[in-house]
């Protein structure tokens, strides 16, 4: 297993901001998300990243910094080589489904391009 990075925040907006900054900062993949009600009485969200050690460290640092500008970060951590038990038994419970929230939509602005025939 490659490195595992975690950023735990209060609130979904803070987590999305952390995730966006993290994946823009380094070549990492978001591999999971965990939502828990009860952290400081709010929604706790932990985003999981995977990639090589240096990339994950850079991504977690950037994500944490961005999240702190938006809301509250509970903790962040990088595990350089997660044990196979962690990767095989814990992480599958938090895996993301492969779907995109933002989709490319056709342009319906009413303007049509000239097409030569």
User: Is the CB of residue 53 less than 8 Å from the CB of residue 10?
Assistant: no
34 vs 61, more confident: 61
Q: pLDDT averaged over the chain?
A: 82
Q: Where does the pLDDT of residue 86 fall: very low under 50, low under 70, confident under 90, or very high at 90 and above?
A: confident
- The arithmetic mean of pLDDT across residues 11-36, rounded, is 94
- CA angle, 40 then 45 then 20, to 5°: 130
CA contacts within 13 A on the Cβ side of 58: 12
37 vs 45, more confident: 45
User: Is the CB of residue 10 less than 8 Å from the CB of residue 74?
Assistant: yes
Using a 10 angstrom Cβ sphere, with 0-12 exposed, 13-18 middle and 19 or more buried, the burial of residue 57 is middle
**Rounded Cα distance, 111 and 114, in Å:** 10
pLDDT for the residue 116: 47
* Tens of pLDDT, residues 41-68: 788 999 999 899 999 999 999 999 999 9
């Amino acid at each position: 297993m490659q490195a595992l990075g975690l950023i735990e925040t209060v609130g979904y907006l803070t987590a999305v901001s952390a995730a966006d900054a993290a994946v823009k900062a380094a070549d990492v993949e978001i591999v999971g998300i965990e939502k828990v009600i009860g952290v400081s009485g709010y929604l706790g969200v932990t985003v999981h990243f995977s990639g090589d050690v240096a990339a994950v460290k850079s991504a977690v640092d950037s994500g944490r910094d961005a999240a702190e500008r938006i809301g509250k970060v509970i903790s962040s951590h990088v595990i350089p080589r997660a044990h196979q038990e962690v990767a095989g038994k814990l992480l599958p419970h938090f895996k993301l489904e492969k779907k995109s929230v933002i989709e490319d939509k056709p342009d319906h602005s009413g303007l049509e391009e000239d097409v030569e025939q």
